[in-house]
Structure 1
């Protein structure tokens, strides 16, 4: 069992940290709003810290799941940042979806301070976090990943190192590119079927068993047909992720025409007041 700090207790981090405690790890938590950390301790035990530095002090691993590039820099660096409190040889594991650029920046800073750094963005949504069944895509030094993998396994269905620092973030971008196209395709199909007068549930029962089947179809078609989107992965966060994808594509000379189009469709959903709706709310544009 390891001594672990977990920084960021949102809809993903709260249950992920809970799985670590359930597995017997000694867990210290930090959250920007202290009430969330206190609620976690009341439910799972462990200890809450007032700053990332305090949380990270004396830990074998420091896990983080925050919002964006600036949030990651904020909890890593500065006098109250986690790096300032970590002991030599400890490993920082970042589950945030951020740019590969900030990942490599933080990894280099960690290396210069004698620390390890693994980028480990996740896929599977809130349900995956709650059920301990996330897909974790990792980048970093192989030996550091090997040390962290048994701890990450506490909330992972699958965890793989895909290359050096930044590889995990690139893989997460690929994940989001796939999702964007799949959700738009599903939205169009369901809206098309509604206008044609077919029973969407009955059609999905058939086509989900063939080549059109996907996780999005299996897990989102019911709520899409019911026009219910108060769950899942928010449009605001998806636009943040797709922005990272598009910026990276520009840097490396890749073409993402469908991703760019779907990003604008999500912008329409934001204008309709649906920024906190699930990504499957794309169908609202078509009704």
Structure 2
């Protein structure tokens, strides 16, 4: 594989291992994190450089990857990066954000003679650590063709789904599906517990049939043990669902179940579960 000069901005639970996979594949990696100690921690265990600033992270790179917090962060960070990237370079945004922001950043990139791909991911921390993420992309084919072999370092599948913003719209669909599935799983486990069944045994049976899902395979057993101090946080899920619900109001779609589950997550937050895994929906049922 041809190697590239790349930067990775944002070394959270996702970005830290993603940048590590880039370095392990032989790319020339520069990292930047708002908290420099995190970047220095990354550099102690991976080959690569720590940028002193966003400007430093952008200068001279073929591709700049970013994974930050929300729309406001994307606008601020991407704007500064693009002001310092070389002509023809590509900015890849792995943040889960709105499609509108993705389109705006794409327009700004074109003005700067840069490429831009919105590329939210699915697979969680485990997927990032194991290099098994799924990446939903929006943008131009020529830019996707250049970045896809590089993203393959930490993905099992990436796909261009349309113009810029399409990746973010696909991620909204992903989160809508997860919200409904986790709520259904929580209700099934609650029902089984109330009925006096051995839910571990039941899950072992029904996971072999039509009810099977990633959530059932990976979360049912920890839900039954009341273990939630890991995984994709409720706060993050509510941020993502807010993006989807706002887009639904814009495009006229009906997301009644999603809106309901979003309020159930608000109940979990009231129980102190802001940082609990999204499977913690069971806690509000078992509190009744």
Q: TM-score range by the shorter chain?
A: over 0.9
- Partner Cα distance (2:75, 2:166) in 1: 19
Q: Which residue of 1 aligns with 2:246?
A: 247
What residue ranges of structure 1 are gaps of 5+ in the alignment?
none
Please report how far the alpha carbon of residue 158 of structure 1 lies from its aligned counterpart in structure 2 after TM superposition.
0.4
- Partner Cα distance (2:52, 2:198) in 1: 53
Q: Which residue of 2 aligns with 1:272?
A: 271
SS at match of 1:211: coil
Matches within 5 A, 1:1-287: 1-77=3-79, 81-287=80-286
TM-score (norm 1): 0.98
- Partner Cα distance (1:267, 1:285) in 2: 10
Q: State the Cα RMSD in Å.
A: 0.5
- Partner Cα distance (2:142, 2:123) in 1: 26
Deviations 1:53-111 (A, max 9, x none): 2101000000001110011112112xxx1112100000000000000000101110011
- Whether the aligned pair in 2 keeps the contact of 1:7 and 1:30 (CA below 8 Å) is yes
Deviations 1:205-239 (A, max 9, x none): 10001000000000001110000000000000000
Q: What is the count of residue pairs matched by the alignment?
A: 284
- Partner Cα distance (1:139, 1:51) in 2: 27
- Partner Cα distance (2:282, 2:62) in 1: 45
Please report how far the alpha carbon of residue 171 of structure 1 lies from its aligned counterpart in structure 2 after TM superposition.
0.3
Deviations 1:120-179 (A, max 9, x none): 000000000000000000000110011010011110010000000000000000000000
- Whether the aligned pair in 2 keeps the contact of 1:6 and 1:17 (CA below 8 Å) is yes
- Partner Cα distance (2:201, 2:75) in 1: 48
Please report how far the alpha carbon of residue 45 of structure 1 lies from its aligned counterpart in structure 2 after TM superposition.
2.0
- Partner Cα distance (1:84, 1:105) in 2: 15
SS at match of 1:85: coil
- Whether the aligned pair in 2 keeps the contact of 1:235 and 1:278 (CA below 8 Å) is yes
SS at match of 1:93: strand
What residue ranges of structure 2 are gaps of 5+ in the alignment?
none
- Whether the aligned pair in 2 keeps the contact of 1:91 and 1:118 (CA below 8 Å) is yes
- Partner Cα distance (1:8, 1:198) in 2: 45
- Partner Cα distance (1:73, 1:31) in 2: 16
- Partner Cα distance (1:75, 1:279) in 2: 28
SS at match of 1:157: strand
- Whether the aligned pair in 2 keeps the contact of 1:269 and 1:281 (CA below 8 Å) is yes
- Partner Cα distance (1:158, 1:205) in 2: 28
